[in-house]
Structure 1
Amino acid sequence: MQPWTDRTTPRPALAALLTDVVPANRRTLILGPHAPQLIESVLAHSSDVTILVRSVSDAQQLGEDFGPCLQVIAGALDGLQTPPYDVIIASDGLDRLLGYDSADLSWTARLDAVAALATPDAVVVLGLENEFSLLNLLDSRPPHERHGDDEWRPLHDDPTRPVSVDQFRTALPWQAEVYADFASRTYVRADVASAARPGELPTRLATAAVDQTDVPLLSPAHEGLDTAARAGLLASVPTGWLAIIGAQPTHDIYTESAHTVLTATQTPTGWHLTTTPATTSDTSDTASDTTGAAGELLVFDPGVVPSTISSGVSVESVLFRLAAAEDVPGFRKLAADLGDWVTDSRVVLRWDDVVYDGESFSHGVSGWVAQETVAKEDLLAAAWARFHGRLIGQHRRHPWPPWMVGDDLVSAWLGMSGVEAPEPTPATSPDTLPVASEQVAKGKQIAQTLDDLLGITNELADLRTVLAEAEAAKHELFEMKGHVYGLERTLGFRNKAMKTRENRIRELRGQLQKMTAAHDRIRDSRTYAVSRVIFHAAQVRKPKVVARKLVRKFRKR
């Protein structure tokens, strides 16, 4: 198939899982496209490695990259005829193994071809995409737009293809340990995933992995995952499964976090955790770029991840339940207990990662820390600000009034945790921030930086949220139209009143001009002059004295 290329992405968690199950110094066959970093991890354990890809250009590139260390075969599965192999790795599944001139083999026929290439005691790693996955059910794109030309997957129905864990195990000709694959970032043992409940570690890690995908969804995926976990069906809705045949993995959970790989093993009292650096250079570069963008405030420190954690649920799950039940006293008590537990530290608080076992609290698997020690008040503000964004952003039910949403609500939660609100100060300008905004400013900055580092963005909103926002915008537009109509009507009434006043003023001004002109004519008349003389004469009180003065005047003249 030239020119053709099958794109792959690095999978640090899968590389760690293969490191545990692939035996050393065995003849190994890799089927289908795999990331170069994954091939490197297999080469480090095997003596003779062969890879089958259907693209000639991919085969040439692999030959140039690995040289004589890797034997590359360009072709299809139905044409491969070699002696059996001790290890077969087909973690990409069986979908991208046939060429354009291959026979239309069903999934079962492809599996038979793979089984013919394996020795009786071979170690086989086989992936399978889940058609019933939650992401597939909630994907808002039509089926023909979900895969690009670089994937070229068969889109027709295949009745032999397994669509559940039980069907997958039954279809395999070997005894297998099946892992649930969540977005190729987290791998959880199927039995462990089936027993997980909302808020527990497997569910939290699966939700975090699915939330980082860029698939446009009809509704938020976390709700479906929580519901599936509550029903014991978390292992039925992952993006795929990974079957391990002939080997027993060491850990129950493999997941990638920043530039490290986290593994977890279930114990009677909780979980035993280990962290190792990721072997993929691409992931390290990506993590370095991400840390460089916001790493001036936060960095990832694997050393703060505890070696053991309890099997409780996250504090966020408990707070969501209390808020939905409108149990404000219970919410207040839990917030007060959290305030007593938190101290000054470098570890950034996340209520979705703090574990609560009913009596005490403990940090989870998050290793994000600040460069310097952060005050208790700022740590609580960051945790509550992030909780506020998830509570309101997910449109969850809560008992607080809508006008209290924002910094005021975060400040109220801080008060429940024992952080006293600062004294209110009068505003010195229109741009002066309220006291609540000043109190949570540092916490909001930490929370936003953490979300950026975790890759949590709101660029791709689910369709249900978009419809809800559109309906809210429609309602707001209707109210604004009514408000505008009322203002226009008021302005119309005022305009008419102004015109009436203007006409009245003009009438009064004309009357004043007429009266002024009449007054001027009267003042200029002889009658007015005589009347003024008579008026002044009427004011004389002693006529004889006036007469004598007039006589003297006449005599002088």
Structure 2
Amino acid sequence: MTRSNLVGGEMLNWSDLHPADSRPAASGSAATTLLTAALKPGDTVLMAGPHSHSLYADVAAQAESIDILVRSAPDAEELAETLTHAKTQVYCGSLDRFESDETYDLIVALDGLERLVGPDTAALPWSDALSKLTARLTPNGRLLLGATNSFSVNRMIQPDITAALPRDEDWGRTVGDSAPAGLKALRAEVRGQVFGVYPSLIEAEVLVGDSEQLTAAAAARVVAVRNSGPTLMDPYRVVMDAAAAGLLVELAPAWYVVVGDVELPDETPTGELVEERLLNALRVDDQLALRREVVAYVEWARTTSTSGAPDNVIVAGTSYRLFGAESGGTVEEHLARFVRRALESGARQPWPAGGDPEVLTARLASMAGITLSPSTSPEVIRPLGSAEQLATVARLADELAHASARAILFQGTINGIRKSVPYRLGHAMLNPARVVRRRLKRVLRRR
């Protein structure tokens, strides 16, 4: 028997769990981590908005009771039939029609507030929707809230072409119905801990609370995987540069706001990626630092049983350890991987632009006493991002202009020498000797 109750404003021919032309429900390992930290034994929970089945199941298995509010009638029926927890109640409709005297120890809205209403609700300002949820908290209750950032690293990575193609769920709404624009405005609306979410609310994989390099690297990896096609800028470097500027949370694609007493486990290791040290040396043309880092890394790679490339190895002082799973391959292959990543990122290099990756790899390897065999088929690696490609083209044009200027200077110098008196005298004195030599060669051939 179904436990779904219609409260008004429900969408009958619509699904947020199985969308045809809209974004999927909130999910991801970061969402699971946050829920695990926030959920306490004996909690009464309200989950508002579409979440993945695994998130519903995790909460239902641990909570004392769970109420679910979704706007889609098919989703409500599906959840009512699949969640067998004895104290699970599913409500279908819009938040503004959801009237109840119930209060909750934990309210979960990791998908945000925009999908808590349907087209029958003319307007529900974001702040009003937030007030309706927080009013249902017990005195010591906790709120987990998701919000999409309207100006994030995604704006620097991908052109927003899809904005011109409205989806089925993009019916007309007032501007105030969406989340506040910017981290400062969000914090003004709701007080609590704010974490950056990468790469998005619908696939929250990495949760960041600061700009620590290793946290940034984890976020940069998932962003790079999600943006593997043509990009405006290199996705990995955009996130790492945002972290270096202290903007990792502010420029996150989305945020989680945590209101109440919730402590997340701190599992972030300390140290610095070998790749970042190598790139920093390249950026300032510090050949001594580059050689030192290459030699130290190669010595560690030769003496350890693990296998890790520079982008997967942490160095802290003089100790090295893996950052994630093993990379596999030889140290030569790892150096080649670093060269490829450096060229793809358009990073500054102390050598001529557009260099052959085989030559650059051999140059790094020689610093550690490794001799590589030359390749018979040189490869050209272009930067991933359009901005880095333009910068590389500009550098190539500049180098070509300088080379042309030097060629013109050399040609002028040679012409000047040829017109000089000493050159002409020497040429006149040597010319008879050349004539005699040529004639002797002819005579000898005839014999």
TM-score bucket of the superposed structures, by smaller chain: 0.7 to 0.9
- Alignment correspondent of 2:293: 334
Matching of residue 366 in structure 1 with residue 317 in structure 2: no
The alpha-carbon deviation at position 225 of structure 1 amounts to 2.8
1:144 aligned partner: 163
The 3 A distance-change label for structure 1 pair 38 and 384 is same
Q: Distance in 1 between matches of 2:173 and 2:241?
A: 28
- Alignment counterpart, residue 350 of structure 2, candidates 399, 415, 418: 399
- Pair 1:44–1:400, CA change in 2 (3 A): same
Structure 1 CA distance, aligned partners of 2:12 and 2:161?
28
After superposition, residues 70-219 of structure 1 pair within 5 angstroms as 70-82=88-100, 83-142=102-161, 144-145=163-164, 148-149=167-168, 152=170, 157-158=175-176, 161-172=179-190, 175-183=191-199, 184-189=204-209, 192-193=210-211, 196=212, 200-214=213-227, 217-219=231-233
What's the C-alpha RMSD, in Å, of the aligned pairs?
3.3
1:146 Cα deviation after fit = 7.2
Q: Residue 313 of structure 1: which of 260, 269, 272 is its match?
A: 272
Contact 2:32-2:55 at 8 Å conserved across structures: yes
CA offsets 1:177-207 (integer angstroms, 9 cap, x no match): 2211121211012xx33xx3xxx21221221
Deviation of 1:351 (Å)? 0.9
CA contact (8 A) 2:114 2:177 kept: no
Q: Normalising by the residue count of structure 2, what TM-score does the alignment of the two structures yield?
A: 0.74
Q: Secondary structure at the match of 1:349?
A: coil
Query: Equivalent residue for 1:417?
Result: 368
Counterpart of 2:421?
A: none
Report if the CA contact (8 A) 1:228-1:237 is conserved: yes
Equivalents in 2 of 1:325, 1:166: separation in Å?
A: 35
2:66 paired with 1:49:
yes
Deviation at 1:465, TM superposition (A): 5.6
Unaligned stretches of 5+ residues in structure 2: 1-10, 17-23, 398-447
Offset of residue 114 of structure 1: 0.9
Match of 1:436 among 371, 374, 385: 374
Q: Structure 2: how far apart are the matches of 1:316 and 1:88?
A: 41
C-alpha displacement of 1:392: 0.9
* Residues 137-187 of structure 1: CA deviation (Å, up to 9, x unaligned): 5431246347743x6487753398433334323312xx5222111212110
Partners of 1:230 and 1:345 lie apart in 2 by: 30
Q: 2:195, 2:257 within 8 Å by CA — same for their partners in 1?
A: yes
Task: For CA contacts below 8 A with separation 6 or more, give which structure has more relative contact order.
Answer: 2
The amino acid of 1:334's aligned partner reads: E
- CA distance in 1 between counterparts of 2:253 and 2:115 reads 17
Determine if the alignment matches structure 1 residue 390 to structure 2 residue 357.
no
Aligned-pair CA distance for 1:361: 3.5
- Check the 8 A contact 1:140/1:463 in 2, yes or no: no
What amino acid sits opposite 1:31 in the alignment? A
The 5 Å alignment of 1:467-546 reads: none
Q: Is the 8 A contact 1:3 1:57 kept in 2?
A: yes
State the 1:2 CA deviation: 2.2
Provide the secondary structure at the position in 1 that maps to 2:387: helix
SS in 2 for 1:212: helix
The answer to whether the 8 A contact 2:313-2:321 is kept is: yes
Report the Cα distance in structure 2 between the residues aligned to 1:470 and 1:331, rounded to whole angstroms: 25
Letter of the structure 2 residue corresponding to residue 87 of structure 1: L
Query: Which of 360, 363, 387 is matched with 1:464 structurally?
Result: 387
Say if 1:343 and 1:44 are closer, same or farther in 2 by CA, change over 3 A: farther
Aligned to 2:419: none
The answer to whether the 8 Å contact 1:54/1:75 transfers is yes
Matches of 1:418 and 1:338, distance apart in 2: 13
Check whether the contact 2:344–2:384 (CA below 8 A) recurs between aligned residues: no
Task: Kindly provide the amino acid, as one letter, of the partner of residue 167 in structure 1.
Answer: A
Relative to structure 1, is the Cα distance of residues 14 and 316 closer, same or farther in structure 2, using a 3 angstrom cutoff?
same
SS at match of 1:119: strand
Which amino acid in structure 2 is aligned with residue 62 of structure 1? L
Deviations 1:47-99 (A, max 9, x none): 21111111111112222322455322111100111211221100111011101
How many residues align? The count is 371
Label 1:98 to 1:205 Cα distance change in 2 as closer, same or farther (>3 A): same
Q: Percent identity?
A: 26
1:348 to 1:152, Cα distance in 2 relative to 1, 3 A: farther
TM, length-normalised to structure 1: 0.60
* 8 A Cα contact 1:176 1:244, kept in partner: yes
Whichever of the two has the greater Rg, that structure is: 1
Gaps of 5+ in 1: 253-263, 266-270, 272-310, 371-377, 422-434, 439-443, 445-457, 475-557
Once residues 340 and 47 of structure 2 are traced to their aligned partners in structure 1, the CA distance between those partners, rounded to angstroms, is 44
